[in-house]
Structure 1
Amino acid sequence: MPKTRLLVLGAVPALALAVTGCGGGKTGDQAGTGASGNGKIAVTATDTECKLERTEAASGPVTFTISNKGAKVTEFYVYATGDRIVGEVENIAPGLTRELIIELPPGTYETACKPGMVGNGIRGAFKATGESRPLTEDAKLAQAIGDYHRYVQSQTSALIDKTTEFVNAVKAGDVEKAKALYPIARTYWERIEPVAESFGDLDPAIDAREADLEAGQEWTGFHKLEKDLWVTKDISKSGPTADKLLADVKTIVEKAATAQLSPLELANGAKELLDEVATGKITGEEDAFSHTDLWDFAANLEGSRAAIAALRPVIADKDAALAKTLDEKFAAAQAELDKYRSGDGWKLHNELTEPQLKALADAINALAEPISKVAPLVATR
């Protein structure tokens, strides 16, 4: 958090995540039109306005190009009914332009810019019209969704199991056991974590950091318990927080089982998971009390790899050179991270030097660049 956040699966209109890099294997109008014939929709974000050059598009793949003309870091969101997040781009610094490619079924939506990355944002109505052929009409893309669905199911099952063990240790007052289980439970969360943003307040309830809290917001979830374990060192009153964490995780898993993926979600989610590392976690801001950030790094990298692996047959068909580059960059990023293994886990973040952290960030960014080309490739018929 306030981070970038893959997704999880079943029978709702397709959700979609953000592509946070520009550029792509298929460039120009192809990257922005997809099957629907939409051109790219320019969004001008300032500290007081969120202007879209048009507020209607043909249903199907839609590309928003967001330029931050303000003085504050901003975010851009597309919401469906009930504030369900359909797509997002976070951490858009002043002067930067980022792209978001999503698949929109026919219907009404809201767009929002969030200067300062807080609050409900500057909102406006948006509509997707007409009928479009879903990308999953392509048999290989449909297969990719099925393959990834099975991966997510394995992760959500383990997430409940390990979170239960962690919660039980907290409630039993076993500080050392809870400390050992904390980064392990979070591993399964981090592999699929961006799905949580699609479900309203569940993600901040589970994963909000103390620095992210807004005025009056109750602090719950993993990081509250992290502080209890490592800083206050008193978990005698942490039982209710632990119980709420487990209940919220179970709710996420239930919702995930009935969500339906678009192939663009796999592509965009793979990029987002890497951005989480390179733009936030690399600083140690995520697990600020336990310094177990490298467990999160490894989980984000694995989650990204799983999404790209599901899409790889499609990538290889459309751009064999890109598929080869992705294989090489994943291997390089993993090799860089593997330097910091410690037993069955990882070294603590505060045990790494600045040059070591920079080398990790460089390896992740080198992988993120070719991954940014996957969504435009997938959106092109």
Structure 2
Amino acid sequence: MEKADRRGTRPGRRGRYRTGVAVVAAALALAGLAAWELSGGAQGSTRAGAASGTPVDYPTLPHTAVQISPSACGAGWTHPAAGLQVFDVTDTGVSPADVDLVEPATGAVVAEVEGLAPNRSRPLLVHLAPGTYAFRCLQQDVDAVTGPTVTVKGPKGAGTSGAAGTSSEAGSGTPAVVPVTEQDLIPATLAYQHWVAGQLPTLVSDVTALQAAVSSGDVAGARQHWLTAHLDYERLGAAYGAFGDVDEEINGPRQDSTGFHALEYGLWHGASASSLAPVAAKLLTDVQGLQTSWATVQLDPLVLGVRAHEIVENAIEFELSGRTDYGSDSNLATVQANLDGTAEVLSLLRPLLTSRVDVPAVDAAMAAARSELATLNGAPLASLAQVPREQLNAVFGNLVEQLAPVAAVLDVRRTT
């Protein structure tokens, strides 16, 4: 599925989860989203043109000017052809519009433009296999309108779109993705909420042991319990948005106030147990409150797919960079916990992903990341030589690329 310029940001954990432009661009290209919005990087100038309303020039490709409005959805597409091409989509209506290029028989989306303003144009780069297509125009405040069905012909054997939402021959065209609904995501979301509820008692128990060790002056024991409890928390990455402000108190990226990292800094920098006792006591109170309040939490089904990508992206940006190491040298162990959390999310989403993304490629990337961490056996990041560090970065770069399409295809889209 190709996607033209997309604006807006995703919810961020303490501002830490952000779209890594170069990485995500490559990842979405794997899912057929090569025209994804980029705010910088190699295609920055291309996206700047799209954002300003000026059609991006792909001079070596065929262009088709297409009008989008409730009364003229898809007007202008009169000479259909297979292959890589550009639709210069112009909103001729009076309000902003989302535009999908769909397979009418299944409703699968091949390409899309989001938030196209009136009297503005945006290029839609897509590779069409032989088959039938139509533009679906979703003008603001009016019902969706589907334009005329267009038949794209091509050389024999070029491939056609499959009923499951992907092309029947690799490379024959941009994969089409059947949109998910919020109702599709609810079972996985409820299952994840239940899973988190089952993890919280262990977190509370381990933080209790941490607090007891600090109170008794057992620094060595406190360090051990700190690592165990911190990894408990890091496995819950997909739930962070539902934790509210207490997430900042528990795991905020700082060393001088409350939470895990304040304790980490003190335990590994010679702070007295008496000075750390109030910090440990507050951490225990916070996680106990989190356990109590979780029963009333309603996790947003729309974010679960996004988290599958963002947990690993966060691990790359903050753990593999060492930016959240305040003395324990436990970044690689934290990344392993992040992978555990990602694996849980993927397992619950798998029924929705099987026909929409390359699940074997995702599984292989996850396995490679686990294997790489096992090889390094929790070594401090600073101790890694150049070659193993480069290998580690490469493996996780590939993983985040493979996971990015999960967020894209599980984005709930308007269809009516």
TM-score (norm 2): 0.57
Which residue is 2:16 aligned to? Answer: 4
Task: Map 1:341-360 to 2 at 5 A.
Answer: 341=377, 346-360=378-392
Match for 2:181 among 135, 140, 143? 135
| Structure 1 pair 194–137 and aligned structure 2 pair: CA distance change class (3 A) | closer
Q: Residue deviations 1:317-367, cap 9 Å, x none?
A: 234xx11111111111111111022xxxx3333333343233222211101
Matches within 5 A, 1:218-237: 219-237=257-275
AA aligned opposite 1:144: A
Aligned partners of 1:194, 1:63: CA distance in 2, in Å?
28
User: Residue in 1 aligned with 2:294?
Assistant: 256
* 1:117-196 superposed matches below 5 A: 135-138=181-184, 141-193=185-237, 195-196=239-240
Contact map agreement 2:259 2:279 (CA 8 A) in 1: yes
1:318 matches 2:367? no
* Cα deviation code 1:264-296 (max 9, x no counterpart): 322111111111221121122212311111121
1:148/1:43 Cα in 2 relative to 1: closer, same or farther (>3 Å)? farther
Contact 1:286–1:293 (8 Å) recurs in 2: yes
Native 8 Å contact 2:242 2:299 kept in 1: no
Matches within 5 A, 1:254-293: 254-293=292-331
| Offset, 1:256 | 3.4
Tell me by how many angstroms 1:303 deviates: 0.7
Q: 1:19·1:272 contact (CA, 8 Å) conserved in 2?
A: no
Inter-partner Cα distance in structure 2 for 1:296 and 1:198 = 21
1:173 to partner: Cα distance: 1.1
The secondary structure found in structure 2 opposite 1:250 is: helix
SS in 1 for 2:325: coil
CA apart distance, 1:162: 1.0
User: Following TM superposition, by how much is the alpha carbon of 1:197 offset from its aligned partner in structure 2, in angstroms?
Assistant: 4.7
Asked if the contact 2:239/2:299 (under 8 Å) is kept, the reply is no
**The one of 389, 392, 395 aligned to 1:363:** 395
Q: Which amino acid aligns with 1:302?
A: D
Query: Which of 1 and 2 has higher RCO (CA within 8 Å, sep 6+)?
Result: 1
The secondary structure found in structure 2 opposite 1:337 is helix
Q: Distance in 2 between matches of 1:162 and 1:129?
A: 52
Distance in 1, matches of 2:342 and 2:384, equals: 23
Q: Would the alpha carbon gap of residues 374 and 238 (structure 1) be closer, same or farther in structure 2, given more than 3 Å must change? A: same
Q: Assess if the C-alpha contact under 8 Å between 1:135 and 1:263 holds in 2.
A: no
Alignment coverage as a number of residue pairs: 272
| Structure number with bigger Rg | 2
Seen in structure 2, the aligned counterparts of structure 1 residues 323 and 272 have a Cα distance that, compared at 3 Å, is: same
Return closer, same or farther for 1:64/1:220 CA change in 2, 3 Å cut-off. Answer: farther
* Aligned match of 2:249: 205
Alignment of 1:284-303 (within 5 A): 284-303=322-341
Matched, 1:327 2:389: no
Structure 2 distance, partners of 1:190, 1:63, is 36
CA distance in 2, matches of 1:335, 1:183: 21
Q: Deviations over 1:206-249 (max 9, x none)?
A: 222337xxxxxx71111111122110242122211111111112
From 374, 386, 389, the counterpart of 1:338? 374
Extract unaligned runs of 5+ from structure 2. 1-12, 38-49, 53-94, 99-111, 116-139, 144-178
- Is the 1:332–1:363 contact (alpha carbons within 8 Å) kept by the matching residues of 2? yes
Can you list the C-alpha shifts for 1:25-63, whole angstroms capped at 9, x where unaligned? 3648999xxxxxxxxxx989xxxxxxxxxx9999xxx99
The 3-state SS of whatever aligns with 1:285 is: coil
Q: CA deviation at 1:169?
A: 0.9
| TM-score of the pair, normalised by structure 1 | 0.61
Residue 243 in structure 1 maps to residue 281 in structure 2: yes
Q: Which runs of 5+ in 1 are unaligned?
A: 6-16, 32-41, 45-54, 66-127, 212-217
Seen in structure 2, the aligned counterparts of structure 1 residues 276 and 379 have a Cα distance that, compared at 3 Å, is: closer
Distance in 2 (alpha carbons) for counterparts of 1:375 and 1:183: 30
Tell me, yes or no, if structure 1 residue 378 matches structure 2 residue 410.
yes
